[in-house]
């Protein structure tokens, strides 16, 4: 034990002498040897802590489409002005056309620095305009080697991740802008059998994502482009309908916001297909808060369905009554507009199935204190076809409607609604007789009339 203690003492003395030799360096910096040791240890600890995160420079996120571009937007934006297509022999026009397509794959900044690279932006714009004119005024110029280059150029310039929506209404649409991009798809030289190798499901899916763009000009061009694709590529039709359905499902049940619902409904208005789609997608769109943004297109789609097939008339009308707004008067007016459009095309046999719940709702609308709702419901009596349907089924409709009509003609606060001229519209004998009966009932027992109205 004594030997071990002496050995330990000698070792401690050796360490002490070693520190004293190093102490002059610490003295030059104005620190004691202990302080110097603490500083070294703290620096070593801080280095060890930093080692798992060796980030010395910020990470620069590359553009999503840079790697697929013929030219790198970050390295070379200078474009060589190529000769005009009409100035070269026909044998060299295809090669020159492809070169111009490759030039159009170069990116330029139009957002953060719109005044940069103006010279090269003009070269690109001129190339696009020239190619559109060339395709429009010449025949048999869209050769097979051009198809993959055109599709690639379109994808590089158009497909991108959209920013979160900040302005649902978007910019004012100018129909003169962006129209040249449609010319190639409308060219008589366009051959779907060749193009289908490059315009596939992946391409369509990326195209559909762009419908959420805030720019209405872009959405309008996309609408026409997708409609052309639907018409020319039969193999993609089912896929397009399925993906549009998926967009609607996410809109109805998840996000509640999408900028392109109106445009997609316009497309569907001309390709209406499927009873399940009507019940599962179109009708639930009535319950979304932003209905006013796309309601005209939605109503048009519903009417198109019923014009082609009257079978789903009853579920359509019952769905409208199910989603009928309770406290939102402007939305209620929209429903009245759509319901009248449906009644304009309804078959008498289908009308009988829904007339009682339908006119109970109309009676409530006629009694509405909101004059626009009441006035719009009363406007139904100006529709000759609706009046003929009512006349054929007066025995069941009159007891539902006349209490509300009579009550409004006597008591409604608005002069447009509160008028005896309403009776002048009811020229049928059965209506006049019913009106007299209602007046007699009102005089004999006003409380009965009041209960029936409510």
Q: How far is residue 374's CA from residue 362's CA, in Å, rounded to a whole number?
A: 9
- Six-digit token pair at 173? 């649409």
Q: What is the pLDDT of residues 278-328, one digit of tens each?
A: 888 999 999 999 999 999 999 999 999 999 888 899 999 999 999 999 989
pLDDT at res. 202: 95
Q: Say what angle helices 90-103 and 146-158 make with each other, to 10 degrees.
A: 20
Q: How far is residue 211's CA from residue 374's CA, in Å, rounded to a whole number?
A: 37
Count helices and strands in the chain by DSSP H and E runs: 22, 0
411 band by pLDDT with thresholds 50, 70 and 90: low
- Residue 165 gets which letter from DSSP? P
User: Across residues 407-414, what is the average pLDDT?
Assistant: 61
Q: What is the pLDDT of residues 444-453, one digit of tens each?
A: 656 544 544 4
- Six-digit token pair at 406? 């009579």
pLDDT at res. 52: 44
pLDDT at res. 423: 52
User: Across residues 403-422, what is the average pLDDT?
Assistant: 59
pLDDT at res. 45: 42
User: Across residues 385-409, what is the average pLDDT?
Assistant: 83
Helical segments of 309-445, H only: 313-322, 329-345, 348-366, 371-378, 384-392, 394-411, 422-425, 429-444
Q: Centre a 10 Å sphere on the Cβ of residue 315 and count the other Cβ atoms it contains.
A: 15
Helix, strand and coil percent figures for the chain, each rounded to 5? 70, 0, 30
CA quadruple 223, 225, 227, 232: dihedral, nearest 10: -170
Q: What is the pLDDT of residues 332-371, one digit of tens each?
A: 999 999 999 999 999 999 999 999 999 999 999 988 888 8
Q: What is the pLDDT of residues 38-80, one digit of tens each?
A: 444 444 444 444 444 344 343 333 333 333 333 334 455 678 8
Does the pLDDT value for residue 129 go beyond 50?
Answer: yes
Q: How far is residue 158's CA from residue 210's CA, in Å, rounded to a whole number?
A: 8
Contact 229, 204 (CB under 8 A): yes
Q: What is the pLDDT of residues 230-274, one digit of tens each?
A: 999 999 999 999 999 999 999 999 989 999 999 999 998 878 767
Q: How far is residue 280's CA from residue 383's CA, in Å, rounded to a whole number?
A: 31
Contact 147, 197 (CB under 8 A): yes
Does the pLDDT value for residue 391 go beyond 80?
Answer: yes
The Cα-based distances of 251 to 179, 261, 279, 297 in angstroms read 29, 9, 16, 16
- Residue that has been written with the tokens 């639907």 in this structure: 230
Helix (H) or strand (E) holding 101: helix 90-103
């Amino acid at each position: 034990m004594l030997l071990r203690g002496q050995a330990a003492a000698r070792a401690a003395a050796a360490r002490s002498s070693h520190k004293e030799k190093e102490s002059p360096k610490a003295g030059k910096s104005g620190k004691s040897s202990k302080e110097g040791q603490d500083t070294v240890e703290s620096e070593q600890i801080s280095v060890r802590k930093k080692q798992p995160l060796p980030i010395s420079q910020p990470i620069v996120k590359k553009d999503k489409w840079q790697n697929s571009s013929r030219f790198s937007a970050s390295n070379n934006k200078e474009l060589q002005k190529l000769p005009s297509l009409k100035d070269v022999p026909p044998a060299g026009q295809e090669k020159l056309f492809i070169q111009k397509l490759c030039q159009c794959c170069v990116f330029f900044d139009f957002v953060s620095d719109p005044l940069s690279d103006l010279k090269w932006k003009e070269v690109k714009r001129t190339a696009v305009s020239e190619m559109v004119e060339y395709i429009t005024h010449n025949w048999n110029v869209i050769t097979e080697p051009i198809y993959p280059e055109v599709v690639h150029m379109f994808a590089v310039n158009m497909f991108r991740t959209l920013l979160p929506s900040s302005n649902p209404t978007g910019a004012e649409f100018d129909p003169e802008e962006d129209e040249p991009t449609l010319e190639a798809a409308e060219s008589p030289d366009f051959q779907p059998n060749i193009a289908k190798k490059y315009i596939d499901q992946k391409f369509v899916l990326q195209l559909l994502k762009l419908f959420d763009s805030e720019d209405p000009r872009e959405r309008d061009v996309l609408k026409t482009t997708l409609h052309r694709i639907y018409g020319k590529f039969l193999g993609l039709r089912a896929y397009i309908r399925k993906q549009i359905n998926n967009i609607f499902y996410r809109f109805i049940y998840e996000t509640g916001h999408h900028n392109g619902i109106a445009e997609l409904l316009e497309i569907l208005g001309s390709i209406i297909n499927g009873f399940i789609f009507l019940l599962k997608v179109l009708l639930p769109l009535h319950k979304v808060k932003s209905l006013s943004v796309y309601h005209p297109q939605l109503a048009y789609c519903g009417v198109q369905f019923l014009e082609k097939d009257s079978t789903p008339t009853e579920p359509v009308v019952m769905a409208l009554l199910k989603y009928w707004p309770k406290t939102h008067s402007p939305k209620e007016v929209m429903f009245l507009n759509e319901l009248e459009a449906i009644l304009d095309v309804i078959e008498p046999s289908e009308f009988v199935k829904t007339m009682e719940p339908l006119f109970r709702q109309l009676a409530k609308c006629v009694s509405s204190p909101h004059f626009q709702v009441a006035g719009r419901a009363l406007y139904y009596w100006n529709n000759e076809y609706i009046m003929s349907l009512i006349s054929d089924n007066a025995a069941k409709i009159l007891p539902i409607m006349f209490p509300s009509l009579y009550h409004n003609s006597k008591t409604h606060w608005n002069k447009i609604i509160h008028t005896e001229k309403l009776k002048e519209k009811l020229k049928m004998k059965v209506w006049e007789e019913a009106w007299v009966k209602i007046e007699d009932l009102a005089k004999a027992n006003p409380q009965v009339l009041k209960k029936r109205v409510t």
